[in-house]
Amino acid sequence: MAWDMDPAFAQVQEDRPSNTANLSAEGVPIIDLGPLFSSNSDDSTALSKIVDQIGKGCKEWGFFQVINHGMPIELRNEVKKVAAKFFSQSVEEKRKIRRDEDNAMGYFDAENTRNVRDWKEVFDFLVVNPSEIPAEYDGEQVTRTITMGNRWPENLPEMRKACEEYAKATEKLAIKLLELISLSLGLSATCLNGFFKNQTSFIRLNYYPPCPCPDVALGVGRHKDAGALTVLAQDEVGGLEVRGKDGKWVAVKPVLDSYIINVGDIVQVWSNDAYESAEHRVVVNSKRERFSVPFFYNPSHYEFIKPLEELLSKDNPPKYSGYNWGYLFTSRKLSNFKKMTVENLQVHHFKAFP
C-alpha cells in the first residue's frame, strides 16, 4: 500500500503488521466466572477450577478472557456511547482538555510507544481523583510529588457520570481478579490488596480511526503493560494481538461482552517470573474505526516493587532488585509525550545480577 501519511507513524520494518498472525489466539483461555456469582459461590471445587485456569493463562500466555464476570453491560455500553460522542468532536474542542507533562490526564492524540507515534486518540481519567505521583526520585525515595487530576469536557456532562460509574464497577472486578491470581500463586487471596491503598489506577478510552496504511502503522506499538493488571473491554472490531511464547503474533478474537485480562510487569516481578507480562500490540484497518477501554490497575506511587518473599527460596532467588512504582510510572508517562534519546524505562532494567 502506498505511503500517504505522516512518517512519524511508520513502524520499523521488523515491527510492521503482517498477514502472518493467526486468526485467533486459540490457546488464550476463556474462563467462566459465573460460579463465583451464583448461589453456590462457596463451592470450593468450582473456585479451584477457576484458579487453576487463571494460573494456566497467566503462565502460558500472560493473558486470559473472562465471561459471566458480573459487570453490568449497560455501564460498558454507556461508556462506549459517550466515548463515540467525545471523539467525534472537532480537534479544537477535544484539545480544550488536552493532557500535558504536568498532568497526564485528559485528551491526547500524539502518543508514542517505543518512540513511534501510535495511530489513535486517547482520553485518560483516574480511578481515584486526584492522585499523587513522584516528580523527583533520588534513587532511594521520592523527594517531591505532583498531583494529577481528571479533566472533563464541559459540553458533555454525561461523560463524567458514565465514566465514574464504570470505574467503580471495574475496580471491583480488578480486585477480584487479582485475588484469584494471588490464589493461583499459592498465596492468600488478599495478600496483594495492601499495595493499592492509594492506587494510581486509571482508565483509558481508546479511539482508533480508519488508517490509510494499516500495513505500516500500528494503533499501539508492541509493548508490555507496566502496572499490575489490565482489564480490557474491546469492541467487535478487534485488533489486539499477543506475542506467543514461540514469538509469533496471534490475534485475540473478540468474545461478546467478555473482558480480556493481562498481567503486567508488576505481577511478573512479584511472581519472580513465574508469570510473564506478555508483549502485545494493536493493529488497525483502513475501513473500520475501533473503540476499546482498558482499566490499568496500579498500586500506590510509594510502593517498592520486588519479588514476594513468600515465593522465594534457595532454588528460586530474587530475579529483580526492585524499584519504586511511582518512579517507573512517571518515567513511562513522560516517554509517551516525546521521543526519548534512550530506551524507555522497562522492567528488565531492574533485573538482579549476581
SS (HEC) of 259-323: EEEEECHHHHHHCCCCCCCCCEEECCCCCCCEEEEEEEECCECCCEECCCHHHCECCECCCECCE
Q: How high is the pLDDT of residue 335?
A: 54
Q: How high is the pLDDT of residue 330?
A: 82
Q: Helices 157-184 and 73-87, interaxial angle, to 10°? A: 130
Picking from 195, 286, 290, the residue whose alpha carbon sits closest to that of residue 240 is 290
Binned at pLDDT 50, 70 and 90, residue 89 comes out as: very high
Contact 206, 292 (CB under 8 A): yes
Q: What's the CA gap between 215 and 283, in Å, rounded?
A: 9
pLDDT of residue 148 exceeding 80 = yes
pLDDT of residue 92 exceeding 80 = yes
Q: How high is the pLDDT of residue 2?
A: 45
Q: How high is the pLDDT of residue 347?
A: 80
Q: How high is the pLDDT of residue 344?
A: 65
Q: How high is the pLDDT of residue 320?
A: 96
Picking from 348, 299, 295, the residue whose alpha carbon sits closest to that of residue 325 is 299
Q: How high is the pLDDT of residue 12?
A: 92
Check the CA dihedral 101-223-182-73 and report its sign: positive
pLDDT of residue 212 exceeding 80 = yes
* Strand, helix or coil for residue 101: coil
Alpha-carbon distances, residue 305 vs 45, 275, 296, 352 (angstroms): 33, 15, 16, 13
The average pLDDT across 31-41 equals 85
pLDDT of residue 50 exceeding 50 = yes
Q: How high is the pLDDT of residue 340?
A: 52
Q: How high is the pLDDT of residue 1?
A: 42
Beta pairing class for 106-108 and 220-223 = unpaired
Q: How high is the pLDDT of residue 231?
A: 98
Per-residue burial over 30-61, b = 16 or more CB atoms within 10 Å of its CB, e = otherwise:
ebebebbeeeeeeeeebbeebbebbbebbebb
Q: What is the DSSP letter of 198?
A: T
Alpha-carbon distances, residue 331 vs 18, 157, 264, 353 (angstroms): 31, 32, 16, 23
Question: Mean pLDDT lowest for which of 28-32, 39-43, 126-130, 279-283?
Answer: 39-43
pTM (global) more than 0.85: yes
Q: What is the pLDDT of residues 308-336, one digit of tens each?
A: 999 999 999 999 999 999 888 887 765 55
Q: What's the CA gap between 158 and 154, in Å, rounded?
A: 10
pLDDT of residue 117 exceeding 70 = yes
Q: How high is the pLDDT of residue 73?
A: 95
Q: Which CATH code fits 7-350?
A: 2.60.120.330
Beta pairing class for 142-148 and 116-117 = unpaired
Paired with 229 in beta bridges are 263, 297
Q: What's the CA gap between 81 and 290, in Å, rounded?
A: 13
In the chain, the amino acid numbered 315 is D
Q: How high is the pLDDT of residue 5?
A: 75
Cα pseudo-dihedral 85, 168, 199, 111, rounded to 10: -20
Mean of all residue pLDDT scores within the chain: 90
Alpha-carbon distances, residue 286 vs 91, 217, 336 (angstroms): 21, 11, 25
Q: What's the CA gap between 122 and 142, in Å, rounded?
A: 29
pLDDT cut 70: percent of the chain above it: 90
Q: How high is the pLDDT of residue 100?
A: 87
Better-predicted residue by pLDDT, 132 or 136: 132
Q: How high is the pLDDT of residue 78?
A: 98
Q: What's the CA gap between 332 and 301, in Å, rounded?
A: 13
pLDDT of residue 337 exceeding 60 = no
Better-predicted residue by pLDDT, 95 or 137: 95
Binned at pLDDT 50, 70 and 90, residue 109 comes out as: very high
Q: What is the pLDDT of residues 252-302, one digit of tens each?
A: 988 999 999 999 999 999 999 999 999 999 999 999 999 999 999 999 998
C-alpha cell at 146: 505532583
Q: Helices 157-184 and 44-60, interaxial angle, to 10°? A: 100
Q: What's the CA gap between 223 and 228, in Å, rounded?
A: 14
C-alpha atoms less than 13 angstroms from C-alpha of 101 in its C-beta half-sphere: 6
